[in-house]
Each structure stands twice: as structure tokens, then as C-alpha cells.
């Protein structure tokens, strides 16, 4: 059994609360949203944790996906272990995918996939999700397709179609920051974390009121 956990912090979540949740998790793979500018107002403060901070709280054998922001360069997509950093490469444009779909599929299988306990997890970023859903007869060779983004899509219908299409090929997960502006209603904002199987949404996300974080556990059975 491979256990994957999606983590959707809000902009009312402190970095310490997020790191504590990661440290206390027993999941084999944790998945954060992509990097988002920290939010600081009279009522909210959020700061995306650094690679060093994340590695410091990982358990032995555990891995986590995050983005590593860089000065004057696009953020770097990485999967971290306690002492390792695996780069997943940059996002590919929709035009590049349309022009060379086979090259993109090879990239997904080789550079964008990780294997944990004989289960293959594949990552897609940015506009790749829509372009991938438009390709016909694709074989992702994946148990789980993961789509991390910075903030929840508005409207949700903008991204729901490609996610549902791809979920018929592999279980498809999306995770984003919950950017709701009212801490009292954050628990009702469920479009920041999704798992879709065969076109149907899984409704089993958990709300952690103290830290204002949504999580969703994904067990990949042997």
C-alpha cells in the first residue's frame, strides 16, 4: 500500500502549522500546491516553506512535492526526500504539446514520474493539463496523475473538464492553496483539493479547523 496525502493550506495557515502537519503525517508521499506569494494582512499570514525547512521535518523514506522559488527564474518543481532533491523539469506549453505529443508523453513517463512501493505517480503543470486531456488514446502508465497549482481555479468548471477526462485513464488529483478571504467560511471552500476517479469526484477531504488546512488521503492499493 502506498499512501499519498494532498495538503491544501489557506492563507490563514502559519508556516509552523503546515510544517507540523507534514512532520506528523505517515504518508509515503505528500503533495503541496505550487508556490504562492505569501499573504500578510491584519488577519492572515502565510509563507511557503523552503526546501530546507521541508526536508527537516520529513520522516525516513518519506517524500514531498513542492516548488522551489528562484530569483529571476521560474520556480523549480521538485520532489524532496530528507537528503535528496529530484527535479521534475519545467512546464511545457500547450503549443509544444500539440506539436510533439509523443515527446511530451515520453517526458511524463521519464522525467515527471516517481515510483513508490511499485506505484507510479505522474505530475503535470500549468496549461499541460488541458492539452493532455485533448490528446487521443494516451497511455500514461500511471496509478495517479497529480496536478498541483497555486490557488484554486475560479470558476471550478474551467479545470473540471480536463480533470474528469483524464480521470478515466488514471486517478487524477488536484491541489491548490485555499485563497478564501474569510477564515470563518474557509471550510466550505472545497475546490482547492480534489480527487477524481472515472469522472466522479471523491468527497473525502478532511478539514483541520485549528490550522485551517484541507487534506485528502489517497491509498493506492497493492
Q: How far apart are CA 215 and CA 209, in angstroms?
A: 11
Average pLDDT, the chain: 93
Domain encompassing residue 172 = 2-220
* Confidence band for 15, pLDDT divided at 50, 70 and 90: very high
In the chain, % of residues over pLDDT 70: 97
* pLDDT for 132 beyond 80: yes
Q: Which residue(s) pair with 10 in the sheet?
A: 178
User: Would you list the DSSP string of 72-122?
Assistant: TEEEEEEEE-SS-EEE------HHHHHH-HHHHHHHHHHTSEEEETTEEEE
Section 118-141 average pLDDT: 94
Confidence of residue 38 (pLDDT cuts 50, 70, 90): low
Number of domains in the chain: 1
* pLDDT tens readout for residues 86-113: 999 999 999 999 999 999 999 999 999 9
Write the CATH number for 154. 3.60.110.10
Q: What angle do CA 6, 16, 72 make, to 5 degrees?
A: 75
Give the contacts of 87 (CB within 8 A, at least 6 positions apart).
76, 77, 78
More confident site: 44 or 186: 186
174, 193 Cβ separation under 8 angstroms = yes
Amino acid at each position: 500500500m502506498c499512501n499519498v496525502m494532498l495538503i491544501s493550506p489557506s492563507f490563514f495557515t502559519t508556516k509552523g502549522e503546515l510544517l507540523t502537519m507534514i512532520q506528523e503525517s505517515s504518508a509515503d508521499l505528500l503533495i503541496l500546491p505550487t508556490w504562492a506569494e505569501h499573504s500578510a494582512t491584519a488577519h492572515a499570514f502565510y509563507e511557503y516553506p523552503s526546501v530546507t525547512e521541508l526536508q527537516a521535518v520529513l520522516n525516513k523514506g518519506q517524500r514531498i512535492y513542492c516548488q522551489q522559488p528562484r530569483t529571476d527564474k521560474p520556480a523549480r518543481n521538485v520532489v524532496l526526500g530528507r537528503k535528496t532533491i529530484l527535479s521534475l523539469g519545467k512546464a511545457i506549453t500547450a503549443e509544444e504539446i500539440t506539436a510533439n505529443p509523443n515527446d511530451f508523453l515520453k517526458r511524463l513517463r521519464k522525467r515527471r514520474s516517481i515510483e513508490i512501493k511499485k506505484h507510479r505517480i505522474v505530475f503535470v503543470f500549468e496549461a499541460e493539463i488541458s492539452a493532455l486531456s485533448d490528446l487521443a488514446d494516451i497511455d500514461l502508465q500511471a496509478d495517479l496523475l497529480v496536478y498541483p497549482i497555486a490557488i484554486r481555479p475560479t470558476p471550478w468548471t474551467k479545470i473540471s473538464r480536463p480533470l474528469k477526462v483524464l480521470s478515466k485513464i488514471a486517478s487524477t488529483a488536484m491541489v491548490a492553496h485555499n485563497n478564501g478571504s474569510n477564515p470563518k467560511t474557509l471550510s466550505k471552500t472545497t475546490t482547492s483539493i480534489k480527487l477524481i476517479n472515472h469522472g466522479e469526484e471523491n468527497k473525502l477531504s478532511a478539514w483541520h479547523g485549528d490550522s485551517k488546512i484541507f487534506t485528502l488521503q489517497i491509498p493506492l492499493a497493492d
